[in-house]
A and B are shown apart, each in its own frame.
Chain A
Amino acid sequence: MVDQTKRVPYFFIAPAVILFAIFTLYPILASLYLSFQTYEGGTYTFAGLDNYTRLMGDSIFWTALSNTFFIFIFQVPIMLILAMILASVLNSQLLRLKGFFRVSFFLPAVTSLVAYSLLFSIMLQNNGLFNEILSYVGIDAIPWLSDSFWAKFSIVMAMTWRWTGYNMIIFLAALQNIPEEMYEAASIDGAGKIRQFFSITVPSLKPIILFAGILSTIGTLQLFDEPFNLTSGGPGNATMTLGLYIYENGFEYFDFSYGSAIAYVVVMLVAILSYVQFKFTGDK
């Protein structure tokens, strides 16, 4: 009987483990194997590190990498800071209609990626809503999707709209765990709201900032839907991202091995960046 009860937990986790093995573990390992092969004349053959050395000389890969980092460096901090500010405002005792505001800011996170990208692409046309509003205040039309700088900017803007509310909710949950007494004590000591934010809120949120930071890093390195729907990676390759380049290699050029190699570069980058974030923000 004792042996039997020891086995019970395994029955319970079996469905999850089996599904994980089939749909996550197997593809991960298979694509690693694939990245060391090439496809020629209908069959795969082992090619060693060929795909990886090819990456080194591929200018589009480097462009995609630098675009991804450009978006990462600007978008993630802007979004996390905005989310944190919004969360503290929404956590304030003074604010009315909290529920309404929380729902409003969170709503973008539940919209379909394709639907929102399409809407943004309509609003960002040369004669679209954004430029029309700008024309009322006397600003010349901005080539949102057809200039290489503005196209990246548009993607950062769209992503920020989509994901700020999501991170805000994470921060909000964490804020509610900070004891009110700490703020009371601080205000008795004469600390203003700003000082309280930097001396109490930010340090208390540290593990959550790390968590949101890593999630956003992974999300940005895999960025696909926005450039795919908004700009198709253009103009030129100005908004080509690693995620989009993986897709194009697989589904447009039928080069799944090369796509897998790029995917593994993304895996390495996520690992390195997450490690760095742990080092800087994590407790020793």
Chain B
Amino acid sequence: MKKIGLFLGVTALALAGCSGNDGGNNGDNNAAGDNGGGEETQTLTAWAWNINIPVLEEAAELFAEENPGFELDIVETGTPDVYQQITTGLQANGEGLPDIMLVEDDRLQGYLNSFPDSFMNLSEYGFEEEHGEKFPEFKTELLSLDGDMYGVPFDAGPAGVFYRVDLFEEAGIDVDSIETWDDFIEAGHTLRDELDVAITGIDVNNDDGTYRIMLNQQGTFYFDEENNINLNSEESVKAMDVVARLDEEGLNENLVGWDAWLGGLANGDVATAPTGAWLTGSLIAQAPELEGKWGVMPLPAMEEGGNRAANLGGSNYMISANTENPDLAYEFMEFFSTSEEVQLAAMEGGLFPSLNTIYENEVFTEPHPYFADQPIWEMFAGMMNDIPFANYTGDYAIARDEAETAQAEVVGGMDVEEALQSAQERLENRIK
């Protein structure tokens, strides 16, 4: 009997220990709040990753100057883990979610449509009326559901073609003469013939990013503005055809996955990357020795004189509807998204801010040493107003799955129109 007593005692102690720890933590938090700003706790929790962390830290420091006692508890969680956690939290009616969370453009409408009650409606706080004009329309529309805004815009991914200046010169290609995707493909042939280098490193079986850029620049997307599936549109066929030709004519190096792609750009197997401005940070980190050898040109148009602006990627902050400090969370995010100082800090990490009030800042006209002193930010800023809205809808993830299947089929030899038509039909079946 003594032994049982001992055993139970130990168990009880262990359990007590657990709850004791919890109590301790809560105590600490309260203490922090008390020290700072009185009775109400001034701490917010945020989930973010990577180069976004220092920006949040900087913003919290600046915000605390005006709001003594404010503290931001940042939990660094990488993608895609953070999305699994957010999805799990949303499934549990917002239980366990932080006050604010970073959500990329391509996830946002999916969350908003599936869990509309889980995010704070910022229009109720007047965000759109007060600040809507400071952001490009494609961003504010992305963050809207039934006319209300549910997140603050952060960075954008205006797209351009990153290219190797030295390789282009060696092959004798004049960058200014590349105005259409046809010209781009022609340059690909020159690169192949002269230097035996691939012009693109598209993961043709798993990533349709280039195709999506071309959809967006033509003013359409997987869905049209009325939410109709638009995979079999004329624009879509044209866009997919460019990818098909790059692959078929031996101009593309099929690099599977993000690491292989960056590796290919760093080791000279691949001469260009048509992608969002956010590549800047990764490129500089991955290939510092190529300083001065990269440049950026605007996207080629589909037809001569066509639109050359598009967006790929970018992110936003959303506030949980469950937050205990809704006013504080809103005030902080309002400050974060509209403070020029914060957005300039983001640029140092290679993120391109969507806040248009800072595009006049001298930072934008400064020559960028990594890009042979080309003022790349000025170029990207100039595109922002021309980027058409991409209608992601709540079914983006399924649509992307079908578009990527179609792209893989095309690369495998299927006719472009046929592949897109059957993707259209499969998608209609899946989301009806």
Do A and B come from the same complex?
A: yes
Taking the closest CB of chain B, its distance from the CB of A156, in whole angstroms, is 17
A222 within 8 A of B: no
Are B408 and A235 interface neighbours, CB within 8 A?
A: yes
Are B205 and A11 interface neighbours, CB within 8 A?
A: no
B40 within 8 A of A: no
Given A59-B426, A146-B205, A235-B206: A248 and B401 within 8 A (CB)?
yes
Within 8 A of A (CB), among B118-153: none
Interface string of B243-281 (1 = CB under 8 A from A): 000000000011111011000000001000000000000
For B19, list chain A residues within 8 Å (CB).
Answer: none
Of the 9-residue stretches A91-99, A193-201, A250-258, A273-281, which lies at the interface with chain B?
A: A250-258
For B83, list chain A residues within 8 Å (CB).
Answer: 251
Within 8 A of B (CB), among A7-47: 8, 11-12, 15, 39, 42
Taking the closest CB of chain A, its distance from the CB of B370, in whole angstroms, is 26
Give complex CA distance A166, B47 in Å: 38
Give complex CA distance A4, B408 in Å: 68
Are B259 and A235 interface neighbours, CB within 8 A?
A: no
**CB closest residue in chain B, given A127:** B269
Given A11-B7, A126-B253, A254-B114: A235 and B87 within 8 A (CB)?
no
B204 within 8 A of A: yes
Taking the closest CB of chain B, its distance from the CB of A195, in whole angstroms, is 47
B116 within 8 A of A: yes
Are A125 and B412 interface neighbours, CB within 8 A?
A: no
Are A146 and B256 interface neighbours, CB within 8 A?
A: yes
Interface residue tally for chain A (C-beta within 8 Å): 34
B411 within 8 A of A: yes
Interface residue tally for chain B (C-beta within 8 Å): 37
Taking the closest CB of chain B, its distance from the CB of A107, in whole angstroms, is 24
Of B11, B254, B411, B429, most buried by chain A (CB within 10 Å of CB) is B254
Give complex CA distance A57, B205 in Å: 25
Give complex CA distance A1, B205 in Å: 71
For A121, list chain B residues within 8 Å (CB).
Answer: 256-257, 260
Give complex CA distance A12, B408 in Å: 56
**CB closest residue in chain B, given A118:** B259
B285 within 8 A of A: no
Are B256 and A145 interface neighbours, CB within 8 A?
A: yes
For A236, list chain B residues within 8 Å (CB).
Answer: 205, 405, 408-409, 412
**CB closest residue in chain B, given A250:** B87
Within 8 A of A (CB), among B177-234: 204-206
In the complex, which of the residues B8, B404, B426 contacts A234, with contact meaning CB atoms closer than 8 Å?
B404
A122 within 8 A of B: yes
Give complex CA distance A253, B257 in Å: 22
Taking the closest CB of chain A, its distance from the CB of B356, in whole angstroms, is 32
A237 within 8 A of B: yes
B350 within 8 A of A: no
For B254, list chain A residues within 8 Å (CB).
Answer: 126, 143, 146
Are A15 and B115 interface neighbours, CB within 8 A?
A: no
For A160, list chain B residues within 8 Å (CB).
Answer: none
Interface string of A229-240 (1 = CB under 8 A from B): 001101111100
Within 8 A of A (CB), among B374-432: 397-398, 401, 404-405, 408-409, 411-412, 426, 429
For B255, list chain A residues within 8 Å (CB).
Answer: 125-126
For A146, list chain B residues within 8 Å (CB).
Answer: 204-205, 254, 256, 411
For B397, list chain A residues within 8 Å (CB).
Answer: 248, 252-253
Within 8 A of A (CB), among B5-24: 7-8, 11
In the complex, which of the residues B91, B110, B256, B408 contacts A125, with contact meaning CB atoms closer than 8 Å?
B256
Are B87 and A251 interface neighbours, CB within 8 A?
A: yes
Are B110 and A8 interface neighbours, CB within 8 A?
A: no
For A66, list chain B residues within 8 Å (CB).
Answer: none
In the complex, which of the residues A4, A59, A256 contacts B91, with contact meaning CB atoms closer than 8 Å?
A256
For A124, list chain B residues within 8 Å (CB).
Answer: 256
**CB closest residue in chain B, given A236:** B408
Within 8 A of B (CB), among A147-196: 148
**CB closest residue in chain A, given B87:** A251
**CB closest residue in chain B, given A254:** B114
Are B206 and A231 interface neighbours, CB within 8 A?
A: yes
Interface string of B93-130 (1 = CB under 8 A from A): 00000000000000000100011110000000000000
Are A11 and B4 interface neighbours, CB within 8 A?
A: yes
Are A235 and B411 interface neighbours, CB within 8 A?
A: yes
Given A118-B259, A235-B411, A236-B409: 11 more A-B contacts, CB < 8 Å = A42-B116, A124-B256, A126-B255, A127-B269, A146-B411, A236-B205, A253-B398, A254-B91, A254-B114, A254-B115, A256-B91
In the A-B complex, the 7 residue pairs with the smallest Cβ-Cβ separation, listed nearest first, are A235-B205, A236-B408, A235-B408, A234-B205, A254-B114, A252-B397, A234-B206
21 contacts between A and B (CB under 8 A): A11-B4, A12-B7, A59-B426, A121-B260, A124-B256, A125-B256, A126-B254, A126-B255, A146-B205, A146-B254, A146-B411, A231-B206, A231-B256, A235-B408, A235-B411, A236-B405, A251-B87, A252-B397, A252-B398, A253-B397, A254-B87
